[in-house]
Chain A
Amino acid sequence: MTDQAESSDGRTDTAEAAEALSFVRGVMDRTQQKAEDGGGVMIWWGVLTALAVAATWGVALLGWSSGPIMWGIWIGHNVLGWAGTLWAVRRSGALSPVGRQDLATFAVFTVAIWCFMVGAFGSGAVEGWALFTMAQLLIGMVMAFSAILERKASLAVIGLVLIVTVPVLLMASPKWAWIGSSVLCTGAMLVGGVIAALIWRKRRAAQGD
């Protein structure tokens, strides 16, 4: 890019103003798209969730399911997830105000789930088998409402699927609630990540990058 558009007398006529506004909008759109590339981060969280769920199942099957081991798995899941998220943000070199808000919302949502899990687990108000299903409800609500606000139909559908399957799983047997919610939560994050990454790639391709 060069400074060919520099005007000698400093005056801007209508055509130049329209062209300048169009240029500003284009740069802002490209910046927003670059800063909101969340696909990789969501896939990372999905993979970690899958591994943590598998580890939870593994230790339960082996009979090692003590509190410290379970908490260790899920605290490790969160620490690795956030380390990867922060690394991705720093590597991209960009974070828009919208992206920053999304990340803040995600952080609040993660803390809320943890508070809920600790409260529910500690008080015994929720049966152990229903914990994943309760987490599924929270994940579904956050995904659906944020996707509706951002007008991302495909992600909104995933969130709604998570919400409407909650009563079905709670009415089914504890075994199916445990298995179904584990699979749905992990699958939703993985599929959501893939969709976000595909949307981002499509936008990049449209820009000719």
Chain B
Amino acid sequence: MPRKATKNDLDSLLLSRVRLGIMSALAAGDDLDFAALKEVIDTTDGNLGAHLRRLEDAGMIRARKRFIGRKPNTSYRITAGGREAFQGYIEDLATLLGFQAKDAG
């Protein structure tokens, strides 16, 4: 059962570029299916599937399985906790850069 995402969970999870890409795409794209994510992230099916599962297990994204016509389709959305943690991560990066720029100036 997915548990609530925490800041530390995301910080460690987002050290992977694929997972960072997935979270970025879902933060921008709201609702993306596997094929769309694969196109945006540019990775293999197996790699993408494994990283999606890990983010889903951490409760940062939510999967929705359905059929479009006769074809199975899985789409993904970022959870509220995942979005909050992702925004915190981005703010931390920006803050780090801001402090460094101020120090350098």
Contact = CB atoms under 8 A, between A and B. Distances in A.
B27 interface: yes
The residue in A1, A2, A92 that gathers the most chain B C-beta atoms within 10 A of its C-beta is A1
A12 B16 CA distance: 12
Contact of B28 (A20, A31, A92, A93): A31
Contacts of A24: 20, 24, 90
Given A17-B96, A18-B97, A95 B15 contact: no
B52 to A, nearest CB: 14
A14 B96 CA distance: 7
Given A21-B90, A34-B40, A100 B30 contact: yes
The residue in B34, B39, B40, B43 that gathers the most chain A C-beta atoms within 10 A of its C-beta is B40
B25 A27 contact: yes
Interface residues of B, number: 35
Contacts of B43: 1
Interface string B94-105: 101100100000
A1 B33 CA distance: 18
28 contacts: A1-B17, A1-B41, A1-B42, A1-B43, A2-B18, A3-B17, A5-B15, A5-B16, A5-B17, A6-B15, A10-B11, A12-B93, A12-B96, A14-B97, A21-B90, A21-B97, A23-B20, A23-B21, A27-B41, A28-B28, A34-B29, A35-B30, A35-B32, A93-B35, A93-B73, A94-B31, A95-B30, A95-B31
